[in-house]
Structure 1
Amino acid sequence: MSRVWLDLPRDSAALFNPALLAVTVLRGVQGAVEEGKRGLPWETAYLVVPMCLDADVRSALSMRLNTPMVSWIASHPSERAAIPGKAAAISPLVTVGLDLALRTRTLAIDGALIVPGEHKVPKVIKSASSEVAQIQKAAKYLGRWLTVNPNTTAVLNIFGVRP
C-alpha cells in the first residue's frame, strides 16, 4: 500500500480509499466506452476523480451530454475555480487507486487509454452511503461528457488542469 494513502488522517483516508478511487476511474472508463470510445484517456482520470469527489462540483453537473463545457464553466465559476487545486492535491491518490485497479485487472492500459480489464465489477457497488452511488453516477457521466471532445489536452485546459 502506498505511503501517500497510509499517511492521511483517518477521515481523509476513508474518502480517498484506493478502492473507491479505483471504482471512480472504472465508472469514468465505462462512461467513455458507452459513448463509443475504446477507453478513457489516462489524463482524464485525474479530472474525473476530483470532480466526482467534490460534492459542490458533483451537484452542479448537468448530467446532460449536450451541455457545452464552456457554458457549464461560465455558469459555475466557483466550482471550476476549485478543480485545478483539488486535482493537483489528490493526483498521487488517484495514482494509488489506478494502480489498485490495474493490479486487480479491473482496468488495463491500452496505449494512451485506460480500458476495462478482465475482472468484471458489478454495475453499481452497493454501499451504505448514497454519496458513493452519487460519485459512481457522476463518474460515469463525466467519462461520457469529457470524451465528447476528442482533444484531451483542450478538455484539461478548459478546466485548468495540467497533464
Structure 2
Amino acid sequence: MTSAVSWSREERALFNPAFTGLVCARVVQGHAVKHTPACPLPIVVTAAVMAFQPAVRELLPGSTAASMTKWAEDNEAVKVHMAANVPGLTDVVRPGLLFALQTGVLTLESSALSLTGRSIPASITGSSPETVAIQKAAHMLGRWLPTAGTTATALTLLGVRP
C-alpha cells in the first residue's frame, strides 16, 4: 500500500486512526454480542481489514447464521482480495488499534481486546454511506468470524496465515 503522504484526501479521511480505531471497536462490540466480551486480537485485525474492502463487504452473508466454511468455499475471491490487501490494510488498522488502546476505548489482556467504560455508542452512524457500511460490516464480522471455530480455523478459511 502507498504511504499516507500519497493518499487522496478521501483515503486520508477514511484511514485516519480515529476512524480505524472505531472500526476495531465495532468488531469487539459485535463479538461481545454473541461471544465472550474479549475478542482475540487476530479476529479484530482480520475483521477490520475485511470491513475496509468494498469487494469483500459485497460478498458477506446477510446473516451470522451462515456457515463460514460454506461461505468461504463459495466465495474464493475473498482469499484473493485478502492476499492482495492484508499487508497494506494491516498497516492502516494498526495505528487505529493503537489509538483505541491509548484513548481507553479498548483494553488488551492476554491477546484479547475488550471495550472499556469509554465505550462507543450502540447505534452505528456516520457522515457517509461508506463509513456506515464499514462499521456495520465490522460489527457483523465480530459476531460471525468466531463461529468458524478456533481463531486459526477462521483465518485459514480466509487464506490468512494464523
TM-score normalized with structure 2 length: 0.89
Confirm or deny: 8 A CA contact 1:101 1:107 kept in the other structure.
yes
Confirm or deny: 8 A CA contact 2:23 2:134 kept in the other structure.
yes
Confirm or deny: 8 A CA contact 2:124 2:132 kept in the other structure.
yes
Confirm or deny: 8 A CA contact 1:50 1:90 kept in the other structure.
yes
Length, aligned pairs only: 160
Q: Percent identity?
A: 28
Q: Which amino acid letter does the alignment assign opposite residue 143 of structure 1?
A: G
Confirm or deny: 8 A CA contact 2:107 2:113 kept in the other structure.
yes
Q: Which amino acid letter does the alignment assign opposite residue 44 of structure 2?
A: A
After superposition, the C-alpha distances for 1:82-136 in whole angstroms (9 at most, x for unaligned) are 1132112221221100000001101001212110022122223532201111111
Aligned equivalent of 1:156: 155
Unaligned runs of 5+ in 2: none
- Counterparts of 1:5-154 in structure 2, within 5 Å, are 6-10=4-8, 11-154=10-153
Confirm or deny: 8 A CA contact 1:40 1:147 kept in the other structure.
no
Unaligned runs of 5+ in 1: none
Q: Which amino acid letter does the alignment assign opposite residue 147 of structure 1?
A: P
Cα distance in 2 between the residues matched to 1:67 and 1:105: 33
TM-score normalized with structure 1 length: 0.88
Taking only aligned residues, the RMSD between alpha carbons, in angstroms, comes to: 1.8
For 2:148, what is the secondary structure of its paired residue? coil
Q: Which amino acid letter does the alignment assign opposite residue 5 of structure 2?
A: D
Q: Which amino acid letter does the alignment assign opposite residue 88 of structure 1?
A: P
